[in-house]
Structure 1
Amino acid sequence: MNATAPLKYVESEILIEFDNPTQAELIFTSVQPEISSSPSQRSSMTMDLQGNNIHINIKATDATSFRASLNSSLKWIILSLDVLNLKNKK
C-alpha cells in the first residue's frame, strides 16, 4: 500500500431517521431544492425519501469539497427541522 497515493474520490451514504413519514417528507421537500441546485464540479449530492428516512449520497473528488457538501446538507436539514419544530409549538 502506498501511503502517498492521491485520493481518487470520497463517497458516503447517510441515513437520517425522522419521527414519522410526514416529518421526513416535509424536511425532504424543504431541502431537495437546495441539494439539486448546488452546482459543483468537485462534488455531487443526491437525496431520496423512503418512509420516515432520508438517504443522502455525497460523492466528491477531494476531502474539502466532501466536507463542505456534508456540512451544507446537514445544516439545511437541521434548519428545516428547527423551523418545523417552531411551527409545531404554536
Structure 2
Amino acid sequence: MKALKQVEAQFEIEFDSQKEAEIVLSAIQPEICDSPSDRAMTEVKCENKVLFIYIKAQDSPSLRASINSYLRWITLSQQVLKLS
C-alpha cells in the first residue's frame, strides 16, 4: 500500500456580517503567521462575510490537528464576540 504524499482540506465559514468575519480573521491571524508545526501550511482569506480556509499537510494526523485547531480558535473567537 502506498502512503499519501500530502493531504488537503478546504472549507468556508459564513458569518452573520463581514465585520464579524474580519474580526475572527484578525483574532486567528497570529496563529496563521506563527504556525507551531512545519507539517501543515494554512491559507485563510475573508471575502464579504465568508472565511475561506485552505490547509495542506504532510499527512492525515497533521491535517486533522490543524483543522481541529482552527475550528477551536474560530469557535472561541465567536464566543468572545457574543460576550461583547
TM-score normalised by L of structure 2: 0.94
By how many angstroms is 1:41 displaced? 2.0
Unaligned stretches of 5+ in structure 2? none
Equivalent residue letter for 2:43:
T
Structure 1 moving runs of 4+ over 2 Å:
none
Give SS of 2:4's match.
coil
- Confirm or deny that 1:17 pairs with 2:11: no
**Pairing 1:10-89 to 2, within 5 Å after superposition:** 10-87=7-84
Q: How many matched pairs?
A: 84
Report sequence identity in percent.
44
State the alpha-carbon separation in 2 of the partners of residues 65 and 72 from structure 1: 10
RMSD over equivalenced CA pairs, Å: 0.9
Structure with max Cα Rg: 1
Equivalent residue letter for 1:19:
D
Equivalent residue letter for 2:72:
K
Give SS of 2:38's match.
coil
